[in-house]
Amino acid sequence: MAGSELVQVARRARRHARADYSGFRVGAALETADGTIITGCNIENASYGLTMCAERVAMFKAISEGHEKFRRIVVVADTAEPTPPCGPCRQILWEFAGDIEVIMANLRRETARLQMKDLLPLPFDGRLLK
Ligand code: THU
């Protein structure tokens, strides 16, 4: 799927966001190695700390459906500046997807494109536990 199409899919996923407390709606579209697209949106809760980011929703959906290899993820928010994955999401994305491409976009255009290794330099991961 073309990058611009993947951005469109993430924009559509963003419409499902449950951002009742922050009002900050985020959509994600995760592309697996075989081209399957898994979407996510942020899901907030009255117990704020239970909030789950769009990127983690997409990744956990993908893992739970048996996907193991990933190509890239798109993150969409209504911000002029790029909205990058938060720290915990970077850790989760690194764990399960490694050095994938992360495309950031808003409702009109792409705002940034980075590799995970640049978003999470010097990562803590399973290699250190061996
Ligand atoms: N959020 C995401 O879903 N992804 C990001 O990359 C940044 C933050 C969500 C979490 C929370 O629901 C809202 O945005 C405000 O932090």
Residue 1 has pLDDT above 90, yes or no: no
Considering the entire predicted model, what is its pTM? 0.97
Beta bridge partners of 114: 102
For the chain, report the end-to-end CA distance as a whole number of angstroms: 37
- Tell me if residue 2 falls in helix, strand or coil: coil
Q: Which helix (H) or strand (E) holds 39?
A: strand 37-41
Question: Of all protein residues, whose CA lies closest to atom 4 belonging to ligand 1?
Answer: 53
- Which position has the token pair 């061996």? 130
For ligand 1, the distance from its centroid to the CA atom of residue 83, given in whole angstroms, is 9
Query: Is 129 strand, coil or helix?
Result: helix
Query: Where do the H-state alpha helices sit in the chain?
Result: 3-14, 54-64, 87-97, 116-119
Instruction: Indicate the top mutation candidate among 11, 15, 25, 53 to test ligand 1's pocket, ranked by most ligand atoms within 8 A of CB.
Output: 53
Count Cα atoms within 13 angstroms, Cβ side, for 19.
18
Residue whose entry in the numeric block shows the structure tokens 């199409």: 5
Q: Ligand 1 centre and the CA of 99: distance in Å?
A: 21
**pLDDT per position as a tens digit, 65-111:** 999 999 999 999 999 999 999 999 999 999 999 999 999 999 999 99
Residues marked active site are found at 55
Res 6: pLDDT: 98
User: In a mutational test of the pocket of ligand 1, which residue from 18, 24, 89 has the highest number of ligand atoms less than 8 Å from its CB?
Assistant: 24
